[in-house]
Amino acid sequence: MALPYSPAQQQQFRLDFAPVVGRYHRRKRRARRFALTSGGLFLVLVFTGSWSAAWFDLLFVLLVPLVQATIVLTIWAIIPPKCPGCAVPLLKFGAYCPECGSAGLTKPGSQWTDEHPAHCAACGKDMLQRPPRPPGARGQSFPSRQYRIRACSSCGLYLTEEGL
């Protein structure tokens, strides 16, 4: 586990980090909801319009701020929290296992391939990230982690059961 921190410090870090995890998850949910709502509003405006010049003006006046707000909220939602112990963003991949915090992480190959992902000997988890799919392919079009971040990968500090 995290050697530089005493058990009391680790417990305090976990208590301090609990509200950060809650805020992170709420931000992501809000950004998702806002993007879906603004996309739905756009579709309603486009498919129910009378196609007059005034309608296009209304569409433009509503759409531009909506797109800007969606972009800002999405960027705000994906900013990763930092480790309270070492202040490194938690989405960075380091020497410790992000699932359990142990130092038994092996890194053969790359975390972007199915063939040889990084593997934790302590918890048995593969640290696999799926790359974005090429344009036109079916399925997810954004990268996704196939593991939960419960510990800091840089210092090994175990932070939350819930995970990011």
21-51 confidence digits (pLDDT tens):
888 888 888 888 888 888 887 777 777 766 6
pLDDT at 1: 45
Q: Please give the model's pTM, rounded to 2 decimal places.
A: 0.69
Rg, the chain, Cα only: 21
Q: How far apart are CA 15 and CA 13, in angstroms?
A: 5
pLDDT digit string, tens, across residues 55-106: 777 777 877 888 888 888 888 887 888 998 888 888 877 888 888 888 877 7
Q: How far apart are CA 109 and CA 107, in angstroms?
A: 6
19 confidence band (pLDDT: 50, 70, 90):
very high
Q: What are phi and psi of 102, to 5 degrees?
A: -80, 160
CA diameter of the chain: 69
Please list, in sequence order, all residues whose beta carbon lies within 8 angstroms of the beta carbon of residue 25, skipping any fewer than 6 positions away: 162
Mapped onto helix, strand or coil, the DSSP state of residue 109 is coil
Q: What are phi and psi of 8, to 5 degrees?
A: -65, -40
For residue 144 the two structure tokens come to: 């996704």
